[in-house]
Chain A
């Protein structure tokens, strides 16, 4: 059974569910860019950088999914800029999955009144990001 599983060939551009999940993961990663940058800086100064970096969440899918999603982000950006782009059926499938991932991401991480995205349930329940809450608490 495992041998059969290991030889299955997935054409990434046709796997809309995989594209959606990888895109959602990448969008969430963008949200934590500053934290990851900070962790890398700490790792550079650490005696055991590997141990520090091990705490960074690993990507969940085969890297081919991220390559294709990155390509789709590029196509999407060009279209938003009004640059004429000829789409293939695979592009269209991917862009639909990307749109779905983006809507899911926006539901999970709504905008705070300051324009930042809320990162977690606590922020979502309080209706504001941590920075705004800290500012409000300091003012009170």
Chain B
């Protein structure tokens, strides 16, 4: 696996390391120097992913003939923070006591910090390999880049790049389910003036991931490389599942943009 490190903003170097899925807690570092704070999260579960996704508000509204698309992830971030953070370091009260002495310490963390911390915790993106004219013998491959946890020095969060997810080829029926889910919307208000709400595709993505995943590279559980479909389905982070499945299905749509160049010299 290719490991890439970001040196900027306190990112630390990761070299030939597997991403440890079973860490009991993950640390997210915000700020630096005297403004540095560290937020520790428990291991995220499937229901955290579901709860997060169900709170993302994605909608389109028509105003004066204009389509306005709005996506609000703040509520989802704050919900995940409240549910998954287990402790913080670096905050203190005006009287000098650590913030965690307060029974409601989670609520006292500035909202903007909570949102930034969750954004880093769930900072995952997919890419597809450029095969050109050479294609894999079977199945599909999706690369995932993700931050996972701050290293022991606490200087920043390392980025794991090129985490590999190998999928079986999706059937026509699975593509149909994806297409149906992408277009299945609700309207709030009335038919003519309502806002169009897009339900989260995350449950579908997780289900498609579990059906299609064959093997992964770059992840570990219990100090050894993650292997075997059952183990992958059981241990893989829900956000990684979702992003990899999104990469598998949505990149086919993005590729169609290149069709404009087809036939040109």
B195 within 8 A of A: yes
Query: Does A46 have its Cβ within 8 Å of any Cβ on chain B?
Result: no
Interface digits, A3-27 against B, CB 8 Å rule (1 contact, 0 not)? 0011111111101001001000000
- CB contact list, B65-108 vs A, under 8 A: 65, 67
How long is the Cα–Cα vector from A67 to B196 in the complex, in angstroms?
A: 10
Residue A83 at the B interface, CB < 8 A?
Answer: yes
Docked Cα-Cα span, A24 to B62, in Å, equals 20
* Docked-complex contact A71 and B180, CB < 8 angstroms: yes
The complex places the Cα of A65 from the Cα of B186 at a distance, in Å, of: 9
User: With A and B bound together, what is the CA distance between A18 and B173 in angstroms?
Assistant: 27
Given A9-B186, A71-B180, A86-B176: A60 and B192 interface contact (C-beta under 8 Å): yes
Bitwise interface map of B from 187 to 230 toward A, beta carbon under 8 Å scored 1, else 0 = 11111111111000000000000000000000000000000000
Known: A62-B194, A63-B67, A88-B180. Is A6-B60 also a contact (CB below 8 A)?
no
A58 at the interface (CB under 8 A from B): yes
Which residue from B67, B180, B196 sits with its C-beta under 8 Å from A91? B180
Q: Per a CB cutoff under 8 Å, which of A63, A67, A88 touches B62?
A: A63
User: What's the minimum C-beta distance from A29 to chain B, rounded to whole angstroms?
Assistant: 14
Q: How far is the CB of A63 from chain B (nearest CB, A)?
A: 5
Q: Is the CB of A83 within 8 A of B172?
A: yes
Contact B190 A8 (CB under 8 A): yes
Q: Is B43 an interface residue (CB 8 A)?
A: no
Q: Which residues of B contact A90 (CB under 8 A)?
A: 180, 184
Question: How many angstroms from the CA of A8 to the CA of B196 in the assembled complex?
Answer: 12
A88→B192 CA distance, assembly (Å): 26
16 pairs, CB–CB < 8 Å, chain A vs chain B: A8-B190, A10-B191, A11-B186, A12-B184, A12-B187, A13-B184, A59-B62, A60-B192, A61-B192, A63-B62, A64-B185, A65-B191, A67-B183, A67-B185, A67-B196, A83-B172
